[in-house]
Amino acid sequence: MNKLKSQIAVTYSFKTVRNQAIIKGSLLILGIILMQACQNSPKQNTSQVQDQEHPNITKLKSQNAEFIPEIIKLNEKVYVAVGYDGSNASMVIGEQGVVIIDALRALGAAEKVAEEFRNITDKPVEALIYTHGHLDHTGGTSAFIGNNKDVKIIAREGFKDELEEHSPVEPILKQRNIRQFGRDLPVKDIINRGVAPGITPTDRAGKGYIAPNLTFQDSITLNLAGIDIELHAADGETNDELFVWIPDLKTLFTGDNYYKSFPNLYAIRGSQYRDVKSWGESIQKMSTYPVEYLVPGHTRPVSGKTLVHSNLKNYSTAILSVYQQTIDAMNKGYTLQQTVDSVRLADSLINQPNLQEFYGSVPWGVRSIFLHYVGWFDGNPTNLYPLSSSQEAKHMVELAGGEEKMFHKLSQALEKSDYQWGLELADYLLKTDYEKVKVTKVKIALLRALAAQQINAPARNYYLSYSYELEKSLEESAL
């Protein structure tokens, strides 16, 4: 095992050095793209060639330390596999056998972890618990239990009901999933996915899934492999989420309701409403247990009663604060954007290491809560029957003094690093088909400039993925 860890550390160090070199090169290329895109603007601003890495990117890179592959021994009976896939898998050793908690996504990765676990103990698997139905926690089950029909496979009622494969809009959800996770990005652009490595195994992804044979509704206590294990329903990232509490081992398995990032209260790939209030209350309940070992669904475990408690406490406080601030703003009659603008984490929370927006985003959570409670209409009568996007674009272009002047404003936005405004201007021009190739090239540069500032991995991946899609469309139209 020590030899394996050394090899992994050397490989990780090599990859880090290699990636830093790649990123410096990509920044130079970005600078060239920016200058080329602005060739019709009155002057060039060479500051667009970014010589220094944005601090947010440096922070995001530091999150890679959470995904170094390792079998972590928490105590004599609990082992956690991190970094082998996009999520964690755990083994709890009992007198008669072992209990597996979550099963990774790719069957190939699960087979490697199962082998590592068997090197620790040859006791048979007596039960496997799914903390929720997402594929990255359920796809490798057969690697751990084989064809043993006697193994209890446990989950909540309603397991997997809300997944994208059951949605009438599955095709667009899949496309947005690819963008959020940067699945098609070139290696040079990959950092990580916020709570998972940037590249995860694809060997027989999902092919090891086995359906549960034991479900429960609210809570259940079972003796599995000679260990008393409590399972509690805990709505949050999914509506089939549960947490696992083992009193004798002072160990808590949170599933995806906790990981070392501000929680993903809304997934930009598209998802059903994630019950934000219940999510905060679920974490609040977990914080009342005398936990000494905390095992998240992603990122490395946390040990030590004081540290675990503070992590759970600030997590629940942050979630419930975002929820309550949003509700209060809505009841004041704020529009959606006014509500988004008004909600922020307290100073005591905003710099907490486990609340950095590597994966989730406060504004995304606010928007999700707002739309859940009142739907698409934000209360402003202007928005009852808004202009079509093409009509609005036409009027905005006229207001700017014509397409040429708006393109000039677009170029200025790029020069002045006013990237979001630039994107909005680009979209207006694209609706008019004015200099479509030139405008698209500027939009590509804007997307990549925004990506270069992001601490949030899904946002960064989405910006970059979309920029490559636009680039590809330009290449295809030129053929």
On whether residue 4 sits in a domain, the answer given is no
Which three-class secondary structure state does DSSP give residue 99?
strand
Same domain, 90 and 170: yes
- Dihedral class, residue 375 (left if φ above 0, else alpha if ψ from -120 to 50, else beta): left
Taking the C-alpha atoms of residue 434 and residue 456, their distance in angstroms, rounded to an integer, is 33
Instruction: Tell me which H or E stretch contains 227.
Output: strand 227-233
**Terminal-to-terminal C-alpha distance of the chain:** 53
Question: Within 13 Å of residue 293, how many CA atoms lie on the same side as its CB?
Answer: 21
pLDDT given at position 203: 97
pLDDT given at position 479: 81
Taking the C-alpha atoms of residue 223 and residue 257, their distance in angstroms, rounded to an integer, is 24
Q: What type of residue is 453?
A: Q
Buried b (16+ CB within 10 A) or exposed e, 168-181: eeeeebeebbbbbb
Same domain, 335 and 450: no
Taking the C-alpha atoms of residue 385 and residue 334, their distance in angstroms, rounded to an integer, is 19
Decide if pLDDT at 116 tops 50. Answer: yes
**Helix boundaries (H) for 358-454:** 362-374, 389-400, 403-415, 419-432, 436-451
The number of residues making up the chain comes to 479
Same domain, 293 and 332: no
Q: What is the mean pLDDT of residues 85-103?
A: 97
Our CA dihedral for 32, 38, 44, 47, rounded to 10 degrees, sits at: -50
Q: 97 and 225 in contact (C-beta within 8 Å)?
A: yes
Decide if pLDDT at 470 tops 90. Answer: yes
On whether residue 267 sits in a domain, the answer given is yes
pLDDT given at position 440: 98
Structural domain range at position 212: 65-314
Same domain, 355 and 277: no
On whether residue 37 sits in a domain, the answer given is no
Q: 217 and 157 in contact (C-beta within 8 Å)?
A: yes
Nearest C-alpha neighbor of 470 from the set 53, 23, 42, 33: 33
Same domain, 347 and 453: no
Same domain, 289 and 391: no
- List the single range of 33-37, 53-57, 210-214, 227-231 with lowest mean pLDDT: 33-37
- High-pLDDT (> 90) share of the chain, %: 86
How many structural domains does the chain have?
Answer: 3
Same domain, 335 and 308: no
Distance from the Cα of residue 424 to its chain's centroid:
25
- What are 14-24's pLDDT values in tens digits? 333 334 433 34
Whole-number CA gyration radius for the chain: 24
